[in-house]
Structure 1
Amino acid sequence: MIRIGQIMYLNKAYYAEYEERHANLWPEMKKELKDHGATNYSIFLNKENGELFAYLEVLDEEKYKEIANTDICKKWWGYMKPLMKTNPDNSPVAIDLKEVFHLD
């Protein structure tokens, strides 16, 4: 299992909206995440500065990255764009973290 950690950035005015949208994650998006191998996916918010810490596990990182090419993922990015710091393609600005410790 490959563990992935990322930092993303949420605009402070949208903390509640971000949480609500994820509480009502579109079934099609949830299915696509699972179909691309995402498991044990959590997102944590630092309310002090708007940083989001995302953690998920995948079996195949290349298969997971293919989700970015799906219509539903692109639609989700467009839906979330007003809430977050994003790239020109509407994907969230994300910093990939290097795992330096794991307690089994």
Structure 2
Amino acid sequence: MSIHAFKMQLKPGVIDEYRRRHDEIWPELSSLLTDSGIHDYSIFLDEQTLSLFAVLRLADHNRRDALPDHPVMRRWWDYMAPLMEVEADNRPVETALPMIFHHD
């Protein structure tokens, strides 16, 4: 199992809607993430900068790289695109965050 962290960026005025959509996450998306080897996934918000910080655990033999091709993932990205900075294909702009400290 490995830890993966990254940041994303919300657009102004959408915090409540972003939270609502995640509170109502689609069951098929939740299953897809779990089946792809993603566990213990959390997203944190810096309200001053609207930066989102995500941390997740990846199973050793995860299929995270296949998610961009899955129809459920594509639909979720399209659904979330109006709320955040995205790539041309509506994938959220992700900036990897390297780990510099960990305490068990």
Which residue of structure 2 lines up, in the alignment, with residue 93 of structure 1?
93
1:32-64 deviation per Cα after TM superposition (whole angstroms, max 9, x unaligned): 000001111000011101100000001137622
Q: Which amino acid aligns with 2:5?
A: G
- TM-score, length basis structure 1: 0.95
4+ runs of 1 displaced by more than 2 Å?
none
CA distance in 2, matches of 1:86, 1:11: 10
Give % identity: 37
Q: In structure 1, list runs of 5 or more residues that go unmatched.
A: none
What is the Cα deviation at residue 102 of structure 1? 1.1
Q: Please say if 1:40 is aligned against 2:40.
A: yes
Give the conservation status (yes or no) of the 8 Å contact 1:12–1:49.
no
The structure richer in helix per residue is 1
Q: Which moved more, 1:56-65 or 1:4-13?
A: 56-65
CA distance in 1, matches of 2:21, 2:65: 22
When the two chains are superposed, the root-mean-square deviation of aligned CA atoms in Å is: 1.1
- TM-score, length basis structure 2: 0.95
